[in-house]
């Protein structure tokens, strides 16, 4: 009876060993299939990453080509001209520098050139009138003659003063008009320079705005590409 028992024990042990082998083999097959699935997923992710990189690189090229073809109204030359004109602009260059008003004539310059003759004639006429009136050379006659001569002198000097003032005013007006005219010319030149600088500034701003927009769009594409790479890198890492 001992032999059958031993045989039964051996048979049971053999069955257990066979079952264990089967389970181990099944586990190895499952592990292998799981590994193959991961490798396939990795390959797919890498392929997708390459496709994504290519797509983003194409998008970046399209952005760059767009701005290259679009261009801008302003150029780098406009930028350089604007900087040079701004640095060289000096408001004082457009202020007319004038000397103080100078007038070298005197009232005597306008005194009647026949002054002495007129005064002499006036005196003679008054003396003749006094003699005709029987006043002779008395004190009364002398006073009347002196008064008449003084009045004539005063008249001649007043006329000279009026002409002096008129001439001085005329010369000053010419002086003031010259200042105004020359300043107006400088104002016109300054306006032209300021307009040129303003136009160059607008063109320079257009150039920089276009460059900034091109850079902004390119950086956005690169940032999106980086985000995509980060996403599939994280996915790949999770498969190891």
Q: Which of 99, 125, 58, 97 is nearest to 186 (CA)?
A: 97
- Whether residue 174 contacts residue 103, with contact meaning beta carbons closer than 8 Å, is answered with no
Euclidean distance between the first and the last CA atom of the chain, given in angstroms as a whole number: 58
- Cα 89–chain centre separation: 12
Q: And the tokens for 97?
A: 């520098």
Instruction: Tell me how far apart the alpha carbons of residues 200 and 126 are, in angstroms, rounded to a whole number.
Output: 82
- 165-196: pLDDT as tens digits: 999 999 999 999 999 999 999 999 999 999 99
Report the 10 Å Cβ neighbour count for 133.
Answer: 10
Looking at the chain, the whole-number percentage of residues with pLDDT higher than 90 is 42
Who contacts 136 (Cβ-Cβ below 8 Å, separation ≥6)?
130
pLDDT at 56: 76
Q: DSSP 3-state assignment of 137?
A: coil
- Of residues 217, 218, 203, 214, the one with CA closest to residue 68: 214
Q: What is the pLDDT of residue 144?
A: 81
pLDDT value at residue 9: 45
64-106 pLDDT, tens digit per residue, is: 888 888 778 889 999 999 999 999 999 999 999 999 999 999 9
Residue of 26 and 228 predicted with greater confidence = 228
Tokens in use for 160? 């000279």
């Amino acid at each position: 009876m001992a032999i059958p028992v031993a045989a039964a024990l051996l048979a049971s042990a053999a069955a257990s060993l066979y079952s264990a082998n089967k389970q181990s083999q099944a586990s190895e097959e499952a592990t292998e299939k799981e590994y193959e699935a991961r490798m396939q997923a990795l390959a797919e992710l890498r392929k997708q990453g390459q496709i994504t990189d290519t797509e983003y690189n194409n998008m970046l090229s399209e952005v760059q080509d767009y701005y290259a073809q679009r261009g801008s109204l302003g150029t780098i030359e406009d930028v350089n001209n604007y900087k040079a004109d701004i640095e060289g602009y000096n408001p004082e260059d457009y202020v007319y520098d004038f000397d103080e008003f100078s007038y070298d004539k005197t009232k005597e310059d306008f005194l009647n050139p026949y002054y002495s003759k007129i005064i002499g004639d006036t005196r003679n006429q008054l003396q003749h009138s006094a003699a005709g009136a029987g006043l002779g050379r008395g004190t009364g006659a002398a006073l009347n003659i002196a008064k008449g001569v003084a009045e004539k002198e005063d008249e001649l000097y007043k006329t000279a003063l009026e002409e002096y003032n008129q001439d001085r005013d005329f010369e000053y007006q010419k002086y003031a008009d010259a200042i105004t005219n020359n300043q107006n010319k400088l104002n016109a030149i300054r306006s032209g320079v300021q307009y040129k600088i303003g136009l160059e500034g607008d063109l320079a701003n257009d150039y920089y705005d276009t460059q900034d927009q091109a850079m902004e769009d390119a950086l956005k594409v690169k940032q999106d590409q980086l985000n995509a790479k980060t996403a599939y890198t994280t996915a790949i890492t999770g498969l190891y």
